[in-house]
Amino acid sequence: MKLSDIEKKAWQFAHDAHEGVKRKFSGSPYFYHVRQVFKLVKKQDTDENIGAAALLHDTVEDVEHITNDMIRKEFNDKVADLVKELTSTKEMVNLMGKPEYLLDKMFNMSDDALLIKLCDRLHNISDHYNSSDSFRKKYYKETKYIIDNLKKERQLNRKQQVVCDQIEGALKIMKSRYIVERHKWILNK
């Protein structure tokens, strides 16, 4: 995949920002997740600013020394605005609960930010194989709640609908592979 100059810069910025950071539930290098979200976004939209924001989507939220002002200075207003939309506020997550907070946030996001957020969720749900049963179950319920309600309450464009369909497919696989099979195994034990 050919990267534009701004995407190359965002790639390096995100790579450096996440250097040495591992994913909580899988232990894999965090930048792997960033790359996968970028690839999913690029399958739906080739806009370089959206691509750059996809690469930077977790930097402000997860890297203590990175701020939205830094993103704005290094990149541009469009990228910084998208990253800001994608950045969760821990205080609000604690106040509202994560599923409710994310759903409310996704109702009000711009179409471009929602596309990135859905691709982020798709990669997270697709990477569930490396997580514990308790995390998998929690993430399944949270994702199903968000997607079901998002589809009811927000008009999705074609790109967003495609990613939602992929998330629902991943949820079905997850349910049949882990939740139903595990339940049968427990009943037969």
What ranges do the domains of the chain cover? 5-188
Average pLDDT over residues 121-147: 88
Largest CA distance in the chain: 59
9-52 residue pLDDT tens? 999 999 999 998 888 777 788 999 999 999 999 999 999 999 99
pLDDT at 184 over 80: no
pLDDT grade, residue 185 (50/70/90)?
Answer: very low
Average pLDDT, the chain: 91
Q: Which residue has the tokens 């399944």?
A: 140
Strand partners, 29: 22
CA distance 132 to 118: 22
| Residue 25: per-residue pLDDT | 72
Tell me, yes or no, if the pTM score tops 0.75: yes
77-106 residue pLDDT tens? 999 999 999 999 999 999 999 999 999 999
Q: Minimal CA–CA distance to 178: which of 127, 123, 140?
A: 140
CA distance 57 to 121: 12
| Residue 23: per-residue pLDDT | 82
- CATH code linked to domain 5-188: 1.10.3210.10
| Residue 182: per-residue pLDDT | 52
Of all helices (H) and strands (E), which one includes residue 9?
A: helix 5-17
CA distance 19 to 10: 14
